[in-house]
Amino acid sequence: MRINKVLQSLSLSVAGLAMPVLALANDITTKYNLRTPASGMAESLYSLHNWLMIVCVVIFVVVFGVMFYSIYAHRKSKGHQPATFHESTTMEIAWTVVPFLIVVVIGVYATPIVMAQKDTTNADITIKATGYQWKWGYDYLKGEGQGISFLSTLSTPYEQRINQQPKTLNYLSEVDNPVVVPVGKKIRVVTTANDVIHAWMVPAFGVKQDAIPGFVRDTWFKADRIGTFNGHCAELCGKDHAFMPIVVKVVSAEDYTKWVAEQKKKLAANAAPAQLAQAK
C-alpha cells in the first residue's frame, strides 16, 4: 500500500516536472534556436547546427568532467602523488589523432552543404540586391519579372523608435516594398553595395552574403513555403545599420505573375511622363 502511494506521488511530481521541462524545450526550439527553416538549405544548416552542438556538448562534458573529477579525487590534501608518465607516446598520439578524426568527420558532414550554398547555377530568377546607407535596392535581372526595380526602406514609424508610440509586432522588421518571389523556384541573389559593406541575410532561407561596393557576390535560396520572411543587414554599416531590414514575401506562382504585371504597369506609368518630356 505504502509503496503504491509513494509511486503515485512520484509519478505526479514527474508529471508536474514534465510540464515546465516541455515548456523549456519548446522555448529552446522556438525562442532561442535558429529560425524555423523555410528552405532545404536552411533545413541542412539547422541539422548541421544541432549535430555539432551535440558533439560540442559531449566534448565539453567529457573534458570538464575528467578535469573536475581529477582535481577533486587527486587533491593534495588526500596525499595523492602525481603520475609520472612524462612524454608518453601513446598519450601524444591519442590527443592528436582523436581531435583530428573529430574535425575530419565534421568536415565530411559540412563540406557538401557549403558547396551547395555556393552553387548558384540554373536559377529561375536573378535579383540584384544593392546595399545603400541605409536601405536596399532590388533589380530583377533575369527570369519572370525582369526589369522590375525598386528601393526597399524601413516602414516602422520613427515615433516607435523614440518610444512615443507603442512598438508593433514587426518593429524594425517591416519595409515599404518587400522582395516578392515565387515559392519553390531557385532565386539567385546577386549582392553588391553602393557605399560601404552591407550584408544580405535571411535566416529562414539559410542565406547570408556580404554586399561589397565594387564587387559582385551571389547566393541563392529556394523557399519551400508561402509566407513573409525577414532578415537584416548583417554587416555593421553605419549609424542606421539597425534600420535597413530585409523582407521577402514568398507567394504562389499565380500571385507572383499578378505582382509582376502590377509592377510592370507601375514602371510604365513612371516611364510615360519621361518619354513625353523627351519627345518635346
Which residues of the shown chain bind Cu ion in the complex (CB under 5 A)? Answer: 198, 233, 237
Using the minimum distance from each CB to Cu ion, give the nearer residue, 129 or 233: 233
Provide the minimum distance between the beta carbon of 218 and Cu ion in the complex, in angstroms, as a whole number.
Answer: 18
Closest to Cu ion by CB, 132 vs 256, is 132
127 class by beta-carbon count within 10 Å (0-12 exposed, 13-18 middle, 19+ buried) = buried
Q: Where are the beta strands (DSSP E) in the chain?
A: 125-132, 135-142, 149-152, 179-182, 187-193, 198-202, 207-211, 217-221, 227-232, 245-251
Secondary structure of residue 111 in the 3-state scheme: helix
| Minimum separation from the CB atom of position 160 to Cu ion (A) | 20
Q: How far is the CB of 151 from Cu ion (least distance, A)?
A: 14
What is the smallest separation between the CB atom of 247 and Cu ion, expressed in angstroms? 15
Nearest CB to Cu ion, comparing residues 188 and 198: 198
- 24: Cβ contacts below 8 Å, ≥ 6 apart: none
Residue 41 or 237 having the CB closest to Cu ion: 237
Q: Which is nearer to Cu ion, 82 or 214 (CB)?
A: 214
Would you say 148 or 237 has its CB closer to Cu ion?
A: 237
Q: Cell 516594398 belongs to which residue?
A: 177
Q: Give least dist CB 113 to Cu ion, A.
A: 26
What is residue 190's three-state secondary structure? strand
Question: Closest Cα partner for 121 from 35, 222, 199, 204?
Answer: 222
Residue 142 and residue 136: Cα distance in Å, rounded? 18
Shortest gap between Cβ of 130 and Cu ion (angstroms)?
Answer: 11
Please give the angle made by the CA atoms of 257, 188 and 172, to the nearest 5 degrees: 80
